Structure 1
Amino acid sequence: MHLFFLLSVCCVSYAENQADAAQKLRAILTDMSTLDAEFIQIVYSPEGDRLHETSGQLHASRPGQVRWETAPPMEQLLVSDGTTLWLFDPDLEQVTIRSFSDDLAKTPAVLFVGDLAAVEQTYRVSVTSDQLTVFTLIPLTDDNLYEKLTLSFDRKKPTGMKLWDGLGQRTEIEFSSTEINRPISPALFTFIPPEGVDILRDE
């Protein structure tokens, strides 16, 4: 009887902690209508070796508007207006156009400006707090590209993300010069393909 009682309390406490963590993440993200930051992105092999590093600029606005621009030599531009997503690769002179979705695999920044209810329905959320507040998100199903993600905040300001994929690779994204809730021009979230590029439609 005592063991059953302890297990019951443990399970209730665990569920409450999960709910508290998700509620805390929701509160931070709800207060974030726009996000503007520079980033450095580093990809590591399963053995911990650095595979490549890129840098660029992120602009994001709720709901679902994202501009993720990677600087040369690995130049790419991803733009979403919340309905359509464009991926422009200048080296290949190619633009891929698809319908926007809250698919994290396509756009990790969606976590900041996507559907908040979908985050809670898709991930088990836990949180730790020290100098930074770090949320860990574990997918509830096995069909997610990433096995684990973390979001780090200094108070309510995002400082970084880490993503572990099914092959064991780890992607670390560090934000700097971060501003939240600053007005961002809607023009940044539209894209007109340059003349002469190949256009692929991913239905």
Structure 2
Amino acid sequence: MTLSTKVKSTTAKQKMMSGALTGVLMTTLGVAAPMVALTQSATAAPADNLVAAKRLNKLLTNTKSMTANFTQTTKGATNGTFKGSMSVQRPNNFRWETKSPSEQLIVANGNSMWIYDKDLEQATKQGVDSQVGNTPALLLSGDPSKIDKNFKVTQPYENKNYYVLYPKTGDASFKNLSVSFSGGKPVMMVLNDTLGQTTSIKFNGIKLNPSVSSSQFNFTPPKGVDVINQ
């Protein structure tokens, strides 16, 4: 296999995985239960939906900004593991930078979202419309008060900060969304798309509510990069 073929193969694989990731950020985050949930007692009582929604809202409201490293693993039609760093800041600012085994950057600032593939020397720009309020982006960077409006929120174990969200609209491209907290910090998300793929995202080195420069959420395509507007 030539170097060029390897680069194309790696990039194509990452683009497939970034489709799921872009869903986490903007449109299609869905999840299966995180591993932490599987260790809990089956006798633990669940919280009712209203209580669960209020508890999740409080946790997310306290997350005004966040930086962390991540490990993202996808299993299904596409298998692979990617590592990198991320930062979010309310309202609607998100930066997700994959560093290994190949490089990709996704940046959203409430007005636009850029997806930059370094290997392909290609940057794609997408508009961010009001529909972002109906997507999982609101979990980490949007308006927590909209969660109950857009999702049915469940807390399977009342004494554990683990939540599963189900979209209320019938046209969502995901089945459900789960997020786990430890010490008030979101530590894990797992997504389960409609094609049967499962993507887990584990956060480490988390810093809650740090000062984050607004420049983190802006992107200017490097010289010579092909720009695609969608």
Q: TM-score, normalised by structure 1?
A: 0.82
Structure 1: runs of 5 or more not aligned: 1-15
* Residue 197 of structure 1 pairs with residue 225 of structure 2: yes
Which residue matches 2:187? Answer: 159
- Rounded Cα–Cα distance in structure 2 between residues aligned with 1:45 and 1:121: 31
Contact 2:92 2:137 in 1 (8 A): no
- Rounded Cα–Cα distance in structure 2 between residues aligned with 1:118 and 1:140: 12
Summarize deviations over 1:23-67 as a string: whole Å, max 9, x none. Answer: 111111111110101000001117xxx811101101000000011
1:1-203 to 2 correspondence within 5 Å?
A: 17-45=48-76, 51-101=79-129, 102=132, 110-129=138-157, 132-202=160-230
Summarize deviations over 1:134-182 as a string: whole Å, max 9, x none. Answer: 1101111231121111100013111110111111111100000001111
Summarize deviations over 1:59-98 as a string: whole Å, max 9, x none. Answer: 0000000110001323210111221111111111111111
- Rounded Cα–Cα distance in structure 1 between residues aligned with 2:73 and 2:159: 22
Q: Secondary structure at the match of 2:120?
A: coil
Contact 1:66 1:110 in 2 (8 A): no
- Rounded Cα–Cα distance in structure 2 between residues aligned with 1:33 and 1:40: 22
By relative contact order (CA 8 Å, sep 6+), the higher-ranking structure is 2
Matched AA of 1:44: K
- Rounded Cα–Cα distance in structure 2 between residues aligned with 1:131 and 1:33: 24
- Cα pair distance change 1:38/1:132, threshold 3 Å: farther
Contact 1:104 1:111 in 2 (8 A): no
- Rounded Cα–Cα distance in structure 1 between residues aligned with 2:76 and 2:123: 28
- Cα pair distance change 1:133/1:18, threshold 3 Å: same
Identity across the alignment (%): 34
- Rounded Cα–Cα distance in structure 2 between residues aligned with 1:118 and 1:103: 7
Contact 2:83 2:101 in 1 (8 A): no
- Rounded Cα–Cα distance in structure 2 between residues aligned with 1:23 and 1:87: 33
- Structure 1 runs of 4+ aligned residues shifted over 6 Å read none
Q: CA RMSD in A?
A: 2.1
Q: Which is helix-richer, 1 or 2? A: 2
- Rounded Cα–Cα distance in structure 2 between residues aligned with 1:135 and 1:144: 18
- Rounded Cα–Cα distance in structure 2 between residues aligned with 1:196 and 1:72: 23
Q: TM-score, normalised by structure 2?
A: 0.73
Contact 2:133 2:142 in 1 (8 A): no
Q: Which is strand-richer, 1 or 2? A: 1
- Rounded Cα–Cα distance in structure 1 between residues aligned with 2:228 and 2:210: 33
| Number of residue pairs aligned between Structure 1 and Structure 2 | 182
- Cα pair distance change 1:32/1:80, threshold 3 Å: same
Larger Rg: 1
Deviation at 1:109, TM superposition (A): 5.2
